Amino acid sequence: MNQEMVITLAQEATKTLLLVSAPMLGVALVVGLAITIFQALTQIQEMTLTFVPKIVAVFVTILLISSWILGKMTDFARDIITNIPFYLR
């Protein structure tokens, strides 16, 4: 296994990680921004108001796209496993 293969594998792993985590991070960002605007408009400064809706929104997002996440992770793992003989050269 040479440096080029290691770098390619690391790039694919990073790409998969970003692709899988992006929907949850995007939802958390949008919900957080909406709650921050709501707090600024109403001057309600409750700390739990920021965390609970974000947690619920991320959890719902995970439930909705879990099959897609599983497919992406399975494809990545399958690619690594099928290329093991190539990596050992």
Confidence of residue 78 (pLDDT cuts 50, 70, 90): very high
Give the span between the Cα atoms of 82 and 59, in whole angstroms.
Answer: 32
Q: Residue 18: which region, alpha, beta or left (left: phi > 0; alpha: psi -120 to 50)?
A: alpha
Average pLDDT over residues 46-73: 93
- Residue-range domain boundaries for the chain: 20-87
pLDDT of residue 45: 83
The amino acid that residue 2 corresponds to is: N
Distances in whole angstroms, Cα of residue 33 to Cα of each of 15, 43, 48, 60: 26, 15, 15, 18
Mean pLDDT computed over every residue of the chain: 93
Average pLDDT over residues 29-57: 91
User: Distance between the two ends of the chain, CA-based, in angstroms?
Assistant: 6
Q: Please determine, for residue 84, whether its predicted confidence score (pLDDT) is greater than 80.
A: yes
User: What are the structure tokens assigned to 72, written together?
Assistant: 């992406």
Compare 47 and 9 and report the one with higher pLDDT. 9
